[in-house]
Amino acid sequence: MGVEGKSYPAVSAVIDPERVADFARAIGADPEDGVPPTFAAVYSLGATAPYLFGDPEAAVDFAKLLHADQEFEWERHPELGETVTSQGRVVSDIRRRGMRFVTFEAQTTGVDGSGICRSRTLFVIRS
């Protein structure tokens, strides 16, 4: 039901060293250690989720949205300056006991199509 199975446009982004350093500092990591694993929240989830949030058909009430769980699976971690492409899709969209559960997956690849990261998010939208 809902927007289950819907895919959103692929989006490309450069792993910006300055942004990576700011992100590392914000999570208490050493910026010298390179791209923090959960920078995937930016290049994978963060790059794709706005399409879901902005989709009138999906009708996600952003104010009632909670991030319930998150999984990242990496084939490799991106390099500073690398261009990556991510595409999001809705794996499932379920209503139960007045709540809505949306599982959103993003696949991130390098310019050669090689796999980098799969992000899987459970969003709960409270009623």
Partner 1 sequence: MKRAERAVTFTVEQIADYAEASGDHNPIHLDGDFARSVGLPGIIAHGMLQMGVLATVAAEAAGGGRRLRRLYCRFAGMVEPGDTVTFAADVTEPGEPVLTKASAEYL
CA distance 51 to 54: 5
CA distances (Å), origin 100, targets 1, 41, 88, 92: 11, 22, 19, 10
Helix (H, G, I), strand (E, B) or coil at 77: coil
The token pair at 125 is 């939208």
Amino acid symbol at 4: E
Restricting to residues 69-108, name those near partner 1 by CB under 8 A: 69-74, 76-77
Least CB distance from residue 10 to partner 1, whole Å?
A: 18
DSSP E strand boundaries for 1-127: 11-14, 65-74, 83-96, 99-110, 115-125
According to CB under 8 A, which one of 37, 54, 81, 115 is a site residue for partner 1? 37
Q: Does 4 bind partner 1 (CB under 8 A)?
A: no
According to CB under 8 A, which one of 6, 19, 109, 110 is a site residue for partner 1? 19
According to CB under 8 A, which one of 4, 7, 12, 67 is a site residue for partner 1? 67
**Beta-bridge partners for 98:** none
Least CB distance from residue 26 to partner 1, whole Å?
A: 4
Q: Does 16 bind partner 1 (CB under 8 A)?
A: no
Among the candidate windows 38-46, 83-91, 93-101, 107-115, which touches partner 1 by CB under 8 A?
Answer: 38-46
- Applying CB under 8 A, the residues found at the interface with partner 1 are 19, 22-23, 25-29, 33-38, 41-42, 45-46, 62-74, 76-77, 126
